[in-house]
Amino acid sequence: MSEVLRSAVNRSTTLEDVARVAGVSRATVSRVINGIRNVDPAIQESVRLAIASTGYVPNGAARSLVTRRAGSLALVVSGSGAVADGPAGGEVFTDPFFGRVVSGVFTALRPQGLHPVLMLADAPEAREQALAYLRQGNADGAMVVSTHADDPMPALLLEAGVPAVLFGRPDRPLPISCVDLANRDGGRLAADHLHARGCRRVVTIAGPSGVRAARDRLAGFHDAMARHGLPYLPHAEADFTQAGGERAITRLLIEHPDTDGVFAANDLMAQGALAVLRDHGRRVPEDVAVVGFDDSSAATAGRPLLTTVRQPVEEMAAEMTRILLDHIARPERGATSVIFEPSLVVRQSA
């Protein structure tokens, strides 16, 4: 097939075509496109013209084949596959937490012109799929949000040599970078506040025991309460969802009708507590004070406004992204960690 025919058929325009039109070599066109200096301004101009007239767009695959850069980062929502822990498959994305992470990632990615590719690794099969994708170099690195502490994903990524950063420290220390919140401190803030308010019959709604952040929040809360002279507090475990929170508080109220304070390990469960308390005719905060965790949109969605421990998710996600970008640019550097401090946001519920 002649050159003319070939280009007439279907083939999209290539560097070669542009070079021919501009009367220069492929290399020169490439240089112009990639903004490399040492190009005669006049030629530069004629190349730009040729690009415009041909409607040329570089081919991403060919480019990343030679540069060994995919131009995208993976955002992996990872779990153990155990259905009992945390929100199930579809619900993960409905959690305000997820939206905040995405938001923070975009903040850091936008200046670089990169885009996140979303991967859900909540079952062995899905995990293998995600891992294969990453190993093939379809993304330059991975940001991992684990919904479960014994998530095998971090170790697998490490082993595969994929640059990665975690949101939340793993259960067992790994030489992987991560961002996290001082969750124990957060629990302490909530305890001090409820105690100062005069609450003495406090119950807690814990997150999944398989989630480290959930355990740490509860531990910090219990520690502080013990220091205030309250060594034992009833608690129920839930799954970080509102419905789970509703079930937990219902159980707790039956067993401990005289409850005057509630600490929930996230806002969604606190929201559930508020709803049930209202159904039971308990006034918040007069009869029962409630403190949540996260300061997500759920905290201000209803009435009373929720007093909560703030976790700066967006900032944390942005930092996670920056760390990953840095690791990709300078692979020789070792793992780092950035721990954020929580703060108490006092509103109406406590």
Partner DNA sequence: TTGTATGCGTTATCAT
Partner DNA sequence: ATGATAACGCATACAA
Binding region for its own copies (CB under 8 A):
57-65, 68, 70-72, 74-75, 89-96, 98-100, 102-103, 106-107, 110, 113, 115-120, 126, 129-130, 132-133, 135-138, 242, 271, 274-275, 278-279, 297-298, 300-303, 314
Q: Which stretches of 230-315 are assigned E, i.e. beta strand?
A: 235-237, 261-264, 289-294, 307-310
Per CB under 7 A, the segment of 61-69, 261-269, 307-315, 316-324 that binds DNA is 61-69
Nearest-approach distance from CB 51 to DNA, in angstroms: 10
List the one residue from 2, 4, 5, 11 that touches DNA (CB under 7 A).
11
What does 26 bind: its own copies, DNA, none (CB cut-off 5 to 8 Å by kind)? DNA
Residue 67 is a binding residue for DNA (CB under 7 A):
yes
In this structure, the number of other CB atoms found within 10 A of the CB of residue 55 comes to: 10
Closest by Cα among 220, 228, 225, 226 to 185: 220
Q: Does 70 bind DNA (CB under 7 A)?
A: no
| Least distance between its own copies and beta carbon 172 (Å) | 25
Binding of DNA by 8 (CB under 7 A): no
Q: Cα–Cα distance between 275 and 254 in angstroms, integer?
A: 16
Separation between Cα atoms, residue 80 and residue 123, nearest integer Å: 6
Near DNA by CB under 7 A, which window of 22-30, 242-250, 293-301, 302-310?
Answer: 22-30
Residue 51 binds to DNA (criterion: CB under 7 A) = no
330 binds DNA (CB under 7 A): no
Cβ nearer to DNA, comparing 41 with 173: 41
Helix intervals (H) in the chain? 3-9, 15-22, 26-33, 41-54, 60-67, 96-109, 124-135, 153-160, 183-196, 212-227, 242-255, 267-279, 313-329
Which residue, 22 or 108, has its beta carbon nearer to DNA?
Answer: 22
Report d(CA 169, CA 335) in Å as an integer.
12
Looking at the Cβ atoms of 61 and 254, the one nearer to its own copies is: 61
Distance CA(126)–CA(188), nearest Å, equals 37
**26-33 vs 15-22: helix axis angle to the nearest 10?**
100
Q: Decide if residue 33 touches DNA (CB under 7 A).
A: yes
Binder of residue 103, out of its own copies, DNA, none (CB less than 5 to 8 A by kind): its own copies
CA–CA distances in Å: residue 13 to residues 218, 255, 275:
60, 73, 61
Residues that bind DNA (CB under 7 A): 6, 11-12, 14-16, 23-28, 30-31, 33-34, 37-40, 42-44, 56-59, 62-63, 65-67
